[in-house]
Amino acid sequence: MVSLTGKASEMTRKNFFMLVMLSAFLLFVTASSAAFADDKTPIWTKLCASCHDGKTAPDAGELRGRYRTVDDFTAAVKAKGAPCMNIVKNDEKIIRKIAAEIGIRNGTK
Ligand code: HEC
């Protein structure tokens, strides 16, 4: 009997652990899909900022200083961007939008 109760409580602990893990996972999925669904979040924040934090890659301010026009910035993304940026390299429209988001304007040269 004692061992039965022991096994039962062990099962409960395992189930509880699984429940906690599942909740954490669901929370993560909901939180990340919410971030992508929010259209007001800049594309820069969603697609670029995680790497361009000033440590892994130059941050927004640094890029703004380096590229004076949207054209320069767009060309740099396509030519100098790391392979991990391939998802945006072929979409100039997005790159130009991002340039505007981080404060690069045409004609400020
Ligand atoms: C997975 C990480 C990652 C993501 C995401 C990312 N980048 Fe990069 N990016 C890099 C790395 C690494 C470099 C190379 C940095 C270097 O050479 O100093 C780079 C280089 C660049 C450069 C050239 C900088 C220079 O002057 O050499 C630009 C411009 C740039 N990224 C823009 C973007 C934009 C815009 C996005 C979002 C659409 C983006 N990156 C997303 C990692 C990333």
What does the domain layout of the chain look like in residue ranges? 1-37, 39-109
51 lines ligand 1 (CB under 6 A): yes
Percent of the residues in the chain that have a pLDDT greater than 70, as a whole number? 83
Give mean pLDDT, residues 79-97: 90
Name the more confident of 27 and 48: 48
Q: How far is the CA of 2 from the centre of ligand 1 (A)?
A: 61
100 lines ligand 1 (CB under 6 A): no
| pLDDT value of position 109 | 46
Match 């924040």 to its residue by tokens: 45
Q: How far is the CA of 40 from the centre of ligand 1 (A)?
A: 22
Percent of the residues in the chain that have a pLDDT greater than 90, as a whole number? 50
Atom of ligand 1 nearest to the CA of 102: 35
> Is pLDDT above 90 for 59?
yes
| pLDDT value of position 37 | 61
Find how far residue 72's CA is from the centre of its chain.
24
52 lines ligand 1 (CB under 6 A): yes
- Copy the structure tokens of residue 97: 């939008």
Name the more confident of 10 and 66: 66
> Is pLDDT above 60 for 61?
yes
Between CA 52 and CA 106 the distance in angstroms is 22
Torsional sign, CA 33, 39, 42, 44? positive
| pLDDT value of position 77 | 96
Torsional sign, CA 95, 93, 70, 101? negative
| pLDDT value of position 87 | 82
Between CA 63 and CA 99 the distance in angstroms is 9
| pLDDT value of position 52 | 96
Torsional sign, CA 69, 73, 74, 80? positive
Q: How far is the CA of 25 from the centre of ligand 1 (A)?
A: 29
